[in-house]
Amino acid sequence: MRYGRQVLDRDDAALVAALRARDDATFTQLVREWNASMLRVAQIFVPSRAIAEEVVQETWLRVLNALDRFEGRSSLKTWVFRILVNTAKTRAQREGRVVPFSSLRDPGRVPESAVDPDRFRPEDDERYPGHWSSPPRELPEEQLLAAETQAVVERAIAALPASQASVISLRDVQGWSAEEVCNALDITEVNQRVLLHRARAKVRQALEDYLAPETG
């Protein structure tokens, strides 16, 4: 996938300049902000968390060594994650792992229901075939912002398949655009949308279960 030429925004330009100057504070901040998402992406390709952590460390070394060749044809974070994906693929081959590319490239080949089928009416329902039998509830904003609710979201994301966790982490946690995610993970817009829908549905289900009023 090729990147279109774009001018670095001021934030990226400042980051790149600081990294090229070997500014430890800037590097530490980037590692703190991106490491968790990088680890999730690496775990798609390699067989263990320990190896994924090594992949992330190797990626940062490659980033520092390649900074002088960074031309700004993508955002800095997209460039870093592309290096990560390539590093993870190479490591997976070395480990002899059959990488589940189908979960990223063609998620439709991995059948699953994003939402519990019991939430829908049967297809032979007389009035509303296939419609919601129990539609999603509107979740109060103050509850969504509570620290314990955020912890529920984090646990729900951690429990997702790695491909879905990567997409939702980049889109909804890191705030990436769909285009950035597609470029970083080398997937199509359609596949990105499928993975994101499945991930969001599962996280929302976890939130609904947590926030459901107690009965009895």
Residue found under tokens 């993508």: 74
pTM of the model: 0.63
C-alpha span between 12 and 85 (Å, rounded): 21
C-alpha span between 53 and 38 (Å, rounded): 9
Q: What domains lie within the chain, and their CATH numbers? A: 10-95 (1.10.1740.10), 112-211 (1.10.10.10)
Q: CA torsion sign, 39 to 46 to 183 to 178?
A: negative
Q: Give 170-179 contacts, CB < 8 A, sequence gap 24+.
A: 170/37, 170/41, 170/81, 171/196, 172/200, 173/37, 174/34, 174/37, 174/77, 176/77
Residue 130 has pLDDT above 50, yes or no: no
Residue 111 has pLDDT above 80, yes or no: no
Instruction: Please give the residue that has the higher pLDDT: either 97 or 191.
Output: 191
Cβ atoms 202, 160 nearer than 8 A: yes
pLDDT confidence band for 185 (50 / 70 / 90)? confident
Task: Report the chain's mean pLDDT, rounded to a whole number.
Answer: 78
Residue 140 has pLDDT above 70, yes or no: no
pLDDT at res. 56: 97
